[in-house]
Amino acid sequence: MEKENVSTALLEELIKNRQVAKLRELFETIPTIDLAEAANDIEDIRDIVFIFKVVKSDYTAEFFTDLSSEVQEKVIHLFTDSELVTLLNASYTDDIVDFMEEMPANLVSRILKVVDKKTRNDINRLLNYKENTAGSIMTTEYIELISEYTIKEAIEKIRAIGQDAETIYTIFIIDKKRNFIGTVDLDQFVFSKPEQTLDEIADKAAISVGVNTDQEDVATIFKRYNLTAVPVLNEDQRLTGIITIDDIVDVMEQEATEDMSRMALVTPLEDSYKDTGVLKMAIKTMPWLIVLMILGVFSSVVLSSFQDVLSSLAILSVFIPVLMDTGGNSGGQTIALMIRGIAVGEFGPKDYGHILWKEFRVALLVGIMVSIAAFIIFIIEMYLGIVFYAPEGIVGTALLFERMKISGMVSITLFFTIVISKTLGVTIPMIVKALKKDPAIISAPFITTIVDVSALLIYFFICTQIFQLV
């Protein structure tokens, strides 16, 4: 069955007609994420519950984790205790913790009540870790073996316990006190002699993270070292869990979504856009708009202070939007590069001097080229009458000279505005990162507001003090 044929209507038809065989075939051939997306739009939750009654728990456990949190909550409400236990027994502990974090207290209590003691302890331990840390996203279902095991003994152990592990491609080696020794990839078992010990073949330089390591830093480590799994150690350097690549993909998506939201000055959403109500969406977007509106008042104050200048030479007001837009765009380009570089670990606050010097030189080149282009364009616009400027009584060469003065003043302002905006675009994200905050919160619109005020001050200073046009 083709993936593109999976739809809400198809699922509803199979469920209504009790076509169990075709429903099972669907789950055996179609990725559960695609099925879950279709199921999220089924209106009658009892139809979704029916899926859990007739499809193997191996499939439905993953299917459940892919459902929206709202649908998950409704499904659990309709589950009997035995159905809930079946689901939980087939789910990985970290997945259980993920959906429990979105559940109301009464459902959390119910889940903790029906799971076995070991799972309950694992869940409570994971829930106690600080949000967005390695400890909060790790799993406790992995294969750990004592370093003294021979290859032959290790293979027998893997066969015995491997089916319950989230990954068998990386084996984690510990000593008898649970101190982390290293890792062994599954392919090494093929090329090693049966009598060799795990201690002999273990990669003792394996990368590990602490339980309190920020999840964004963990994602950077995965990308930098091309890992598929990483061990998580507690304060005593003892193995306490692992993080797999599928967990990190979720983190990367979450972090990218948060960064994009913050750069657009929208408080990150807890749910998907489709599942977020109108009122909640308005609340998420409104605070930053109010902040920017207040900051925008400073631009109004500057304009108000130079009302007499604008009144005596109205042509000056024509170029204000150009100055503000160019400065904002220039700063936005730089801050986007900075946020991306910081996010992927390409550079950080320690590289500030080098990055600033590079961007300063870029700003000089860009500023010079844009200013020259602007100077030529503005003169042409005034000559063609696109922008009208012809003071009474001034003609010929004198008029050309006046137009050149206006164009020169605006071009010089553009140059300094670009240099300042790019400098701020480097400096502010670095300061925020040094303060252990997310640089994405200082987004392009925020810096644009600061640059707008700076551009106006430079503009009127050049106009009144240097060119003395008024």
**23: CATH:** 1.25.60.10
Domain edge (last residue) among 211, 239, 263: 263
187 and 250 co-located in one domain:
yes
Residue 150 maps to which CATH number? 3.10.580.10
User: Which structural domain, as residue segments, surrounds residue 115?
Assistant: 3-128
The DSSP H or E segment spanning 54 is helix 45-54
Question: Quick one: 257 and 383 in the same domain?
Answer: no
pTM: 0.63
Give the Å distances, CA to CA, from 296 to 262, 264, 324, 345, 427: 19, 17, 12, 33, 21
Residues facing residue 242 across a β-bridge: 139, 231
Query: Is residue 185 located within the same domain as residue 96?
Result: no
Is residue 273 one of the residues assigned to a domain? no
In 237-333, the DSSP E strands lie at 239-244
Predicted pLDDT of residue 273: 66
Could you tell me if residue 164 is inside a domain? yes
In 120-212 the beta strands, taken as DSSP E runs, fall at 144-146, 170-174, 180-185, 209-210
* Centroid of chain to Cα 163: 33
Domain assignment present for 424: yes
**Torsion, Cα of 252, 254, 259, 261 (10° steps):** 150
Residue 390 lies in a domain: yes
Q: What is the 3-state secondary structure (H, E, C) of 307-323?
A: HHHHHHCCHHHHCHHHH
How many domains would you assign to the chain?
A: 3
CA distances from 210 to 105, 142, 234, 468 (A): 29, 17, 6, 63
pLDDT averaged over 10-residue windows placed end to end, the chain, 470 residues: 68 93 92 92 93 93 92 94 93 88 89 91 88 90 94 92 87 92 92 93 94 90 91 92 89 74 63 72 77 80 83 85 90 87 84 95 96 95 85 82 90 95 92 82 71 89 75
